[in-house]
């Protein structure tokens, strides 16, 4: 059967593939701790009870017609007030675009900015930029990062590659690393983008920046999220921000996301979203608008939610530090944000009790799944081939007790290798 070139070349996400494999193994009776997915077990992390009540209320009000291409005004106003209160930035109503989660917004932003062959710059490890480039036949320009910079690029590492790019894709707090860009890093990059755009002629397409900020409300300890518009207001004509309720309120299935940015870009994104029908359901929009307006409810939920996430992330980090102190070849970066922890497991080159030498990511994953009962994701699946010993742990599906159980299993699994 002959299909389009796009259909012939598109690949399934390895993350979804391994998740399906784990589900099959569990259905067959295997005991596996699945820390691969950026999702939540709703029995452990339910959405805010008040959001549930307001959603049911909106359905009972029969708020079930088309919501409009921009998103309902009540929700956009709540988003404006949230960002004003928490990030000290001011937005106009027409600078807010709502959609059914963050992904249609990212897709429509690429569609708005990127032509076939255009260069898109992004650091690795990072989530899904390679796939978005493939979908739009863009030329990916990959920037390697390191643990020393919290797996973020620096302005100096970006300077040599942005000269003819049209989009720079960044995410902070970052998926997969769970790290945050510090204020100076962010300011330096914003100033670099402004400098580059001042260099370009009026007939050249600008260099735009996509800031994926869907985890910004999930930060821990002294680590602080900095909104680029608060740090560098002059970046505004070139920056689009992707956000939503999926992570901060454990509402991945509720599908309410939003983008903010220049009116010209928002209006074009709106057209793409309208043509593909990627509106967020109106009852959920109404409920989300009313929930975000109840600031005490929002604050109370986030305080509890962050504490639960931090307890698990810190538990894993402390456990890896104990293993490291005992001489195991492991490492980790202390929790900063999101629901992820960056951990290092130097397992390649070692041999299992069955005599299998672990030489590839797939062999390591199979060993962890079958012998340790653990599912985690290698950074190489996020484009970082130079950091193949680093992995993402996601804590959205584990209980407090399971943290210690998993650490014991990891210690036993490493000890069994030669």
Q: What are the chain's domains?
A: 5-45+299-415 (3.90.1150.10), 49-294 (3.40.640.10)
pLDDT for residue 385: 83
**Which is nearest to 123 in space by CA: 152, 149, 155?**
152
pLDDT for residue 152: 97
pLDDT for residue 18: 86
Q: Which residues touch 49 (CB under 8 Å, ≥6 apart)?
A: none
Between the alpha carbon of residue 376 and those of residues 104, 146, 336, 371, the distances in Å are 26, 20, 19, 13
pLDDT for residue 140: 98
pLDDT for residue 15: 82
If you write DSSP's letter for every residue of 264-291 in order, what string do you get? Answer: HHHHHHHHHHHHHT-PPPHHHHHHHHHH
CA–CA dist 371, 93 (Å, integer): 54
pLDDT for residue 388: 79
pLDDT for residue 7: 86
CA–CA dist 146, 125 (Å, integer): 9
pTM: predicted TM-score of the whole model, two decimal places: 0.95
pLDDT for residue 171: 98
Quick check: bond before 173 cis, omega within 30? yes
The per-residue pLDDT for range 156-199, each reduced to its tens digit, is 999 999 999 999 999 999 999 999 999 999 999 999 999 999 99
Inter-residue contact 312 to 218 (CB < 8 Å):
no
Q: Which residues of the chain have pLDDT under 50?
A: none
Q: Which residues of 17-38 are buried (b: 16+ CB within 10 A; e: fewer)?
A: ebbebbeebeeeeeebbbbbbb
């Amino acid at each position: 059967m002959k299909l389009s070139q796009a259909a012939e070349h598109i690949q399934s996400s390895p993350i979804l593939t391994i998740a399906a494999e784990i589900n099959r193994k569990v259905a067959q009776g295997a005991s596996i701790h699945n820390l691969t997915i950026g999702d939540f077990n709703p029995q452990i992390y339910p959405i805010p009870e008040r959001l549930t009540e307001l959603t049911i209320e909106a359905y009972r009000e029969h708020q079930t017609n088309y919501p409009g291409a921009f998103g309902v005004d009540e929700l956009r106003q709540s988003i404006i007030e949230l960002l004003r209160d928490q990030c000290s930035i001011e937005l106009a109503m027409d600078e807010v675009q709502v959609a059914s989660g963050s992904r249609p917004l990212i897709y429509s932003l690429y569609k708005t900015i990127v032509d076939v062959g255009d260069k898109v710059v992004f650091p690795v490890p990072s989530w899904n930029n390679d796939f978005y480039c493939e979908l739009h036949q863009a030329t990916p320009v990959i920037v390697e990062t390191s643990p020393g910079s919290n797996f973020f690029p620096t302005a100096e590492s970006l300077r040599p590659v942005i000269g003819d790019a049209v989009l720079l894709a960044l995410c902070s707090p970052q998926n997969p690393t769970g790290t945050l860009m510090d204020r100076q890093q962010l300011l330096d990059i914003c100033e670099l983008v402004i400098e580059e755009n001042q260099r370009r002629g009026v007939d050249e397409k600008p260099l735009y920046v996509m800031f994926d900020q869907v985890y910004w409300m999930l930060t821990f300890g002294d680590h602080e999220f900095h909104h680029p518009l608060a740090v560098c207001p002059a970046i505004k004509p070139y920056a689009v921000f992707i956000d939503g309720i999926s992570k901060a309120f454990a509402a991945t299935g509720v599908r309410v996301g939003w983008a903010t940015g220049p009116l010209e870009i928002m209006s074009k994104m709106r057209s793409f979203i309208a043509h593909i029908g990627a509106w967020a359901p109106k009852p959920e929009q109404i409920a989300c608008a009313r929930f975000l307006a109840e600031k005490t409810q929002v604050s109370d939920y986030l305080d509890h939610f962050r504490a639960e996430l931090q307890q698990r992330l810190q538990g894993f980090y402390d456990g890896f530090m104990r293993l490291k102190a005992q001489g195991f070849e492991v490492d980790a970066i202390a929790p900063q944000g999101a629901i992820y922890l960056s951990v290092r497991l130097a397992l390649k080159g070692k041999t299992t009790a069955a005599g299998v030498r672990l030489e590839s990511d797939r062999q390591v994953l199979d060993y962890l799944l079958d012998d340790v009962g653990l599912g985690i994701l290698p950074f190489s699946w996020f484009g970082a081939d130079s950091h193949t010993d680093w992995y993402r742990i996601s804590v959205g599906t584990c209980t407090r007790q399971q943290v210690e159980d998993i650490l014991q299993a990891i210690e036993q699994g490493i000890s069994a290798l030669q």
